[in-house]
Structure 1
């Protein structure tokens, strides 16, 4: 047992708290790609649309007893975009949108993690799309189940901040500026 885990148990006992042993004994660091997903939603001509990315990689290190030490990095293969149609997928991967030939991936890297209570966290980090990096704050919930756990969350970005949609698409009258990113990252640990 790690010293930090022993310390957490000792503090819990001293304060008379009941803490779930699994939550204190597991460091989640093995991402389960088949149970994880990254999706997005936006409005086109006022109609809600959605899509997802079929390929991404992620690294994670999260100990619920020490959330401030957590680290996460996610790299998305932008050419794996799935909008529900091959023609649309090709358009979105093209130069005016993601320009995947020049910018094949988007990347999120965590900086700080703040516990909000009730298995809720706020993850501040850097998001890079098309060579432009912006600070983002990502709210997430964590649901532990023994040696596995799931992070769920969503946050909104403005596509204009990353020049996603150039030329005629740079206006927001047809495709809205706000894009909601939704994610589920499943992980196991020991």
Structure 2
């Protein structure tokens, strides 16, 4: 589904319905702020090469800068509270908060800062930037896409769902414990729903 300029403007204007009114638009860009109530931030790892576990962060904030005329030049900045990690396995949360992994006492926050590269279109586009975990910063790339757009009869509004995903190697951020049991490659996924 390809959106015209009018639909694109409507979709971007719908961000305000979820995040509140834009805070002080600068020039052609508008600023929107999101938190964990407006989306999900998950990570997935493999265990022993056969099992998969998915955890999430329950406390994060994201700031989005959008130029409605050039959405593929948008910028995003995300801050995650590492202690707010959740995983449904006994002892997993304590392990992830420990010095062997997120080391939340020394590094209470992780960050991603990036921008759309201009590649693709609104339905599928690339984000490139820098990811900082445990005080270590590495380049990070994600692919974002429009998952669906549908009318919600209960709300009387159109709802659009977006997702973005990318992979990282935890060893590049100093997390080398449990290598025999937990995969080095971790998948990050972000999901957001907005009212158009």
Contact preservation (8 Å) 1:31, 1:186: no
CA distance in 1, matches of 2:78, 2:188: 13
Q: Per-residue deviation at 1:88?
A: 1.4
Structure 1 residue 22 corresponds to structure 2 residue 7? yes
**Greater displacement, 75-84 / 145-154:** 145-154
Number of equivalent positions: 169
> Could you list the per-position Cα deviations for residues 100-144 of structure 1 after superposition, in whole angstroms to 9, with x for gaps in the alignment?
000011100014432413611101000000011011111001356
For residues 53 and 115 of structure 1, the distance between their equivalents in structure 2, rounded to whole angstroms, comes to 29
Residue in structure 1 matched with residue 171 of structure 2 by the alignment: 160
Larger mean Cα displacement after TM superposition, 111-120 or 173-182: 111-120
Once residues 102 and 86 of structure 1 are traced to their aligned partners in structure 2, the CA distance between those partners, rounded to angstroms, is: 24
Q: Aligned pair 1:40/2:54, yes or no? A: no
- Corresponding residue for 1:12? none
- Among 39, 48, 55, the alignment partner of 1:51 is 55
Stretch of structure 1 that moved more, 45-54 or 63-72: 63-72
Post-superposition offset of 1:153: 1.8
Give the number of the structure whose residues are more often helix, by fraction.
1
Aligned with 1:43: secondary structure?
A: strand
Partner of 1:104: 108
Pairwise mapping of residues 4-153 of structure 1 onto structure 2 (< 5 A)? 19=4, 21-25=6-10, 26-27=12-13, 28=15, 29-31=32-34, 33-46=36-49, 47-63=51-67, 65-85=69-89, 87-117=91-121, 119-142=123-146, 149-153=160-164
Gaps of 5+ in 1: 1-16
Q: Call closer, same or farther: CA 1:134–1:58 in 2, change over 3 Å.
A: same
User: Using the alignment, how far apart are the partners of 2:3 and 2:124 within structure 1?
Assistant: 19
Scaled by the length of structure 2, the TM-score of the pair is 0.75
The aligned counterpart of 1:4 is none
TM-score, length basis structure 1: 0.77
SS in 1 for 2:105: coil
Q: Which has the higher contact order (CA 8 A, sep 6+)?
A: 1
State whether residues 141 and 151 of structure 1, in contact with CA within 8 Å, keep that contact through their aligned partners in structure 2.
yes
